Amino acid sequence: MFGANFSSERGTEDTEKESHAFLRDLSFPCSVNSVRNPSFHMTELERLNKITEKIIGEAIEVHRKLGPGLLESAYEACLAYRLKKAGMEVELQKAVPLVYEEVKLECGYRMDMLVERLIVVEIKSVEALAPVHEAQTLSYLRLSGSKIALLINFNVVALKNGIKRFINGAV
């Protein structure tokens, strides 16, 4: 049912329009060049939104080429490759220390991906996202001190239906 080129099910032009419409609907201000160039004087929210937009765009491209049904590790590796190729800093399987009173667990948890030292990306390939997946992502967001997290489930027909965005406090 799903071949190596997932876009063959529908025209490439249709899926491209759909992904661009999805990104437009997220209403992110500013240009692509402004993500890595501080001379544009972007606000923190604008920068976070632009990075998030880029991550989602690259995830859509990975999903378009691979389709659903693979292991999480395959999507993680391919998304990391695309983000690095786009010039973004990516840390995989980043340790998230847990501190409780005087107890510190150095490697209590590992988030799938930290992009630009700012955005937590948790990747899933499951039939449906469950509350436990959201709780896990929110825990990584809180414990890491990051402001934004993306929970991306690649096991969906249209990736826009598998993306959830979380915000940690006021941005």
Q: Which residue has the higher pLDDT, 112 or 2?
A: 112
Rounded to 5, what percent of the chain is helix, strand, coil?
45, 25, 30
Residue-wise pLDDT for 67-83, tens only, equals: 999 999 999 999 999 99
Best CA proximity match to 57, nearest among 168, 171, 166, 163: 163
Number of domains in the chain: 1
Task: Tell me what pLDDT residue 8 has.
Answer: 35
pLDDT confidence of 21, banded at 50, 70, 90? Answer: low
Residue 89 belongs to some domain of the structure: yes
Lowest mean per-residue pLDDT among 7-21, 30-44, 55-69: 7-21
Q: What is the DSSP annotation of 4-66?
A: S-GGGGS-HHHHHHHHHHHHHHT---S-GGGTT-GGG---HHHHHHHHHHHHHHHHHHHHHHH
Residue 104 maps to a domain: yes
Assess if residue 157 is contained within a domain. Answer: yes
The pLDDT score that the predictor gives to residue 88 is: 97
Q: Which domain holds residue 125?
A: 6-167
Cα–Cα distance for residue pair 155/144, rounded to 1 Å? 26
Q: How many CA atoms lie within 13 A of 29 on its CB side?
A: 7
Other residues' Cβ atoms within 10 Å of the Cβ of residue 156? 20
Q: Are 40 and 34 in contact (CB under 8 A)?
A: yes
Average pLDDT over residues 148-171: 93
pLDDT bracket for residue 160 (50, 70, 90): very high
Q: What is the DSSP letter of 155?
A: S
pLDDT digits (tens, 9 = 90+) for 92-128: 999 888 888 888 887 778 999 999 999 999 999 999 9
Cα 30 from Cα 49, distance rounded (Å): 9
Q: Is residue 1 part of a domain?
A: no
**Is this model's pTM higher than 0.85 or not?**
no
